[in-house]
Amino acid sequence: MTNKRRQLALNVFFMRFGHHPAAWRSPGVTATGRPDIKYWVDMAKLAERAKFDTFFVADFIGRSGDKLEQTSRLGGAFQFEPLTLLSTIAAHTQHIGLVATVNTNFSEPYNIARQLASLDHISGGRAGWNVVSSYREDTSQNFGIKELRGHGERYERAEEFVAVVKAYWDSWDDDAFDHPDRPAARFFDPRAAHVVKHEGAYFSADGLLDIARPLQGHPVLVQAGNSDTGREFAAKVGEMTYSSATSLEVAQAYYRDVKHRLPHYGRDPDDIKIAPGLSVIVADTDQEAQDKFQALQDAVDFTQGLMGLDVSAYPLDGPLPDDIPIPENGRGRIQQLIELGKRENLTIRQLILKFSVARGHVQVIGSPAKVADLMEQWFVERGADGFNVVPPLLPGGFEDFVRLVVPELQRRGLFRKEYEGRSFRENLGLKRPADLESRHSQALRAESGRKLSSAVG
C-alpha cells in the first residue's frame, strides 16, 4: 500500500456533439455525421492539457435498416471505430490514457488481444479496454448472429473472452524480444514463450500472440455495469468502472458493494477505481448555467423513447406503467430509471427530461464552486474514486469544464497539476501485472518461504 495522497481520477467520455440528445440541434454546432479527425484530436489534446487520466470512446456499433425514420432523428451516434481513432490520437498525445470500447459479442479474443497490444505499444503504454457485452438485435443482425444471448450468458462469455485475451498478452515474457542472439541466429529464446492452450464453453485457442507483451503488461480493463452480475464481473476483472448513480447514497452503496467483492478474488479494494458518470453544465454563474441547460431541454425530441423502452403507446404526461417489459440489454440502468420514476412520481415526459438527458448519471448545473463541491463530497465520502465526465454539449461544454472546474479542483488539492507516471496504469495508481515468468518465480519463492517457516517452526 502507498502513502501517496489520494487524488481524483478524471475521465472524459466524448460524443460528437455531446451527450444531450438535442446537442446536435444547438445553434453554432456544425451538425454532420461525416467523421472529422481534427475534432477528435483537438478534444484529446485539450483533455491532456487539463491533465485528465482518460480519453474514453464508446462504440454504438451496428444500425438497422428497418428503423430509418427513428434513426434519422438521432445525432451524434455516427462515429469512428474506436481502435482506429485512438491509434491516430496516440500519435498526437503523450500522457492521457486511451480507452476503447470493444464488444465481446462481435469479435474474437485473438483479434482484440492483438489490436489492444498494438495500441499499447503505439501509445507508449496508454491503452485501455472498456469491456462490454451488450447485445442489441439491430447490431447482431449486421454480423449475421441469429441466436439470442441472455444477460447471464453474455457475462459468462465475456469473462471467458477476457481470460483468453489475458492469456495471449501473457504468452510472451516482458523481455522476450529484447536480446536477439545474432551469432547463434536465434531471434528469441523459446523459453520466453508461453503457448496458449484453451478449450472453453465459448472459445478455443492454441498459439501465441504475434506482438510483444503490452508495455503495461495488460491494458487497463474498464467495465460498466450496475446489475448484480455486472458488479461481480467488475470485482473479478475490472480495474475501473464507469458506474451510474443519481445520488451520493446510491453511489456510496455501489462503491461499498463492489469494493467488498474484490477480496473474494484475491484482490485489494484499491485495485479498482470507481468512476461514476458526471453530467455537468458549468458557467461563471448558476443562472448562466441553468440558461444553457434549458436551451438544450427545449429542443428535446420526445419521439425517441426512454433508454431503450418503447413508450410510444403511453401518454407522455402519464406515469410509466408497472408492467412495461424490461429488455435484456442495459437491465441495471433501466431498473434505476423505473425506481426513479416511482420514487419521485414522475411522468414519462419528466423521466425523459430527467433521466434520458443525463442517462442515469448525477447531474450538476451551476458555478465552478457548485460543481467542485459535489465532486469533492462524493470523493471524500467514498462515493467515487473519480468521475467519468459526460459533457451534454461539445465542444463548448468541455472547454468550460477545463477552464472553470479543473483549476478549482487543483486549488483544493484534489487533482494533479502534472502527470507523474509514464503509463496509464501508473497515473491511475494501478499495479502492473507481472509476466508469467515473474509470477512463477514469485510463487516458487513464496512456497520456499512457507516450507522454511514450517521447518523452523
Which DSSP string do the residues of 335-396 spell out, in sequence order? HHHHHHHHHHT-BHHHHIIIIIHHTTSEEEEE-HHHHHHHHHHHHHTTS-SEEEE--SSTTH
The stretches of 241-346 forming alpha helices (DSSP H) are 248-261, 286-297, 331-344
Looking at residue 441, its pLDDT comes to 62
Radius of gyration of the chain (CA): 23
- Bridge partners of 386, per DSSP, are 9
In this structure, the strands spanning 196-199 and 204-207 are antiparallel
Looking at residue 343, its pLDDT comes to 78
Domain segments of the chain as ranges? 9-441
Buried b (16+ CB within 10 A) or exposed e, 428-445: bbbeebebbbeeeeeeee
Q: Are 209 and 166 in contact (CB under 8 A)?
A: no
- Going residue by residue through the chain, which has 457 residues, state the pLDDT in tens, using 9 for 90 and above: 345 689 999 999 988 776 666 666 667 776 666 788 999 999 999 999 999 999 999 888 877 777 776 677 666 667 889 999 999 999 999 999 999 999 999 999 999 999 999 999 999 999 999 999 887 777 888 888 877 788 889 999 999 999 999 999 999 999 999 999 999 999 999 999 999 999 999 999 999 999 999 999 999 999 987 889 999 999 999 999 999 898 999 999 999 999 999 999 999 999 999 999 999 999 999 999 999 888 888 777 766 667 667 777 778 888 877 766 666 555 666 777 777 777 778 887 877 777 666 677 899 999 999 999 999 999 999 999 999 999 888 888 999 999 999 999 999 999 999 999 999 999 999 999 998 877 766 655 555 555 445 555 5
Looking at residue 1, its pLDDT comes to 39
- Helix (H) or strand (E) run with residue 425 in it: helix 424-428
DSSP character at residue 429: T
At 387, list the grid cell: 468521475
Q: What CA–CA distance (Å, rounded) separates 305 from 73?
A: 12
Q: How far is CA 389 from CA 53, 144, 283, in A?
A: 11, 35, 16
Task: Classify residue 343 by burial, with Cβ atoms within 10 Å: 0-12, 13-18, 19+.
Answer: exposed
Looking at residue 350, its pLDDT comes to 78
Q: Which CATH class is domain 9-441?
A: alpha beta
Looking at residue 349, its pLDDT comes to 80
Q: Are 176 and 213 in contact (CB under 8 A)?
A: yes
Q: What CA–CA distance (Å, rounded) separates 246 from 92?
A: 35
Looking at residue 166, its pLDDT comes to 98
Question: Measured on CA atoms in the order 422, 409, 12, 428, is the torsion positive or negative?
Answer: positive
Looking at residue 22, its pLDDT comes to 65
Task: Classify residue 99 by burial, with Cβ atoms within 10 Å: 0-12, 13-18, 19+.
Answer: buried
